[in-house]
């Protein structure tokens, strides 16, 4: 019976290919328990047929299709930048739309390509490994202005629209300038697009870690940073992403 179940699962994952297969689908389409599905998936992974992307919840993908998709994504990213010299970066959403990839599969493809040195993550965008954005004389002047804004702390309490107005640039131009500052490690960017200057972020992290307590209230964090709640909350969420803090109800646990 086990060989029959294994053959069934093997056929199912071949049919799904790079789309991937969840534990929920396996349970729905077979009489397997989740424990049996995990065990058989591990056997198929040892045979080189599948890649297990996560155990809880279970999610598997065809090994050969995953490798092929990695190559296709890598080639496409490189080609896009060769054909579009002014391109500042590709978003994961653009890659997902291009190849119709399941978000979980895409997450692992980007991680794999990053470790393989094929791509770099620049904030929320993807660029080929080693890619350097061209900088015009006008952009150099704008970058100098942005460095001044950084020193004045403007990035801590200004939206993209406000920065755009301060610099007198278009959204696309601001996107490129931000990419250049990220490339130069002057600013860092969270998953939701939140921006903060790197040096100040290091100071805040050190202050949080040096507190004589293991809990951090929003009111205390506002006082520490001098930020209003509007900007303190996104920064706290960014610290959560960085595993500096963890939200517990209305407070943060310092990790």
Cis peptide before 103 (omega within 30 of 0): no
- Rg of the chain taking only CA atoms, in angstroms: 23
Q: Compute the average pLDDT of residues 50-78.
A: 92
Kindly report the CATH class assigned to 132-255.
mainly alpha
What's residue 75's pLDDT?
94
Q: Is the pLDDT of residue 1 over 70?
A: no
Comparing CA positions, the residue from 100, 113, 105 lying closest to residue 71 is 113
Q: Compute the average pLDDT of residues 69-94.
A: 88
Q: Compute the average pLDDT of residues 49-53.
A: 91
What's residue 214's pLDDT?
85
Q: How confident is the model at residue 233 (pLDDT cuts 50, 70, 90)?
A: confident
Q: Which residues pair with 215 in a beta bridge?
A: 253
Name the residue with tokens 């303190």. Answer: 232
Beta-strand pair 195-197/125-128: unpaired
Q: Is the pLDDT of residue 225 over 90?
A: no
For the chain, what are the domain ranges?
A: 2-62, 65-128, 132-255
What's residue 76's pLDDT?
94
d(CA 192, CA 106): 17
Give the CATH fold of the 65-128 domain.
Arc Repressor Mutant, subunit A (1.10.10)
Comparing CA positions, the residue from 26, 21, 23 lying closest to residue 5 is 26
pLDDT tens, position by position, 138-155: 888 888 888 887 777 777
- Range 2-62: architecture per CATH: Orthogonal Bundle (1.10)
Asked if the domains 65-128 and 132-255 are classified in one and the same CATH topology, the answer is yes
What's residue 67's pLDDT?
92
Q: Compute the average pLDDT of residues 214-230.
A: 85
Q: How confident is the model at residue 236 (pLDDT cuts 50, 70, 90)?
A: confident
Q: Is the pLDDT of residue 131 over 90?
A: no
d(CA 16, CA 107): 18
What's residue 194's pLDDT?
67
Q: Which residues pair with 217 in a beta bridge?
A: 251
pLDDT tens, position by position, 191-208: 666 677 888 888 888 988
What's residue 177's pLDDT?
84
């Amino acid at each position: 019976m086990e060989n029959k179940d294994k053959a069934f699962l093997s056929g199912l994952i071949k049919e799904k290919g790079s789309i991937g297969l969840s534990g929920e689908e396996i349970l729905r389409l077979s009489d397997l328990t989740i424990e049996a599905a995990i065990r058989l998936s591990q056997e198929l992974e040892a045979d080189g047929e599948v890649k297990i992307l996560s155990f809880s919840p279970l999610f598997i993908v065809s090994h050969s299709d995953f490798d092929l998709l990695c190559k296709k994504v890598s080639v496409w990213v490189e080609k896009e930048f060769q054909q579009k010299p002014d391109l500042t970066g590709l978003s994961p959403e653009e890659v997902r739309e291009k190849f119709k990839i399941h978000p979980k599969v895409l997450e692992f493809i980007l991680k794999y390509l990053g470790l393989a040195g094929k791509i770099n993550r620049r904030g929320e965008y993807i660029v080929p490994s080693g890619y350097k954005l061209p900088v015009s004389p006008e952009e150099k002047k704008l970058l100098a202005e942005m460095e001044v804004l950084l020193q004045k702390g403007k990035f801590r309490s200004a939206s993209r629209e406000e920065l755009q107005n301060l610099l007198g640039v278009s959204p696309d131009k601001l996107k490129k300038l931000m990419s250049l500052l990220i490339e130069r490690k002057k600013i860092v960017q969270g998953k939701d697009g939140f921006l903060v200057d790197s040096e100040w972020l290091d100071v805040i992290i050190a202050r949080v870690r040096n507190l004589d307590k293991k809990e951090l209230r929003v009111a205390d964090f506002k006082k520490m940073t001098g930020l209003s709640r509007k900007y303190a909350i996104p920064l706290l969420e960014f610290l959560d992403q960085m595993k500096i803090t963890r939200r517990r109800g209305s407070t943060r646990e310092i990790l």
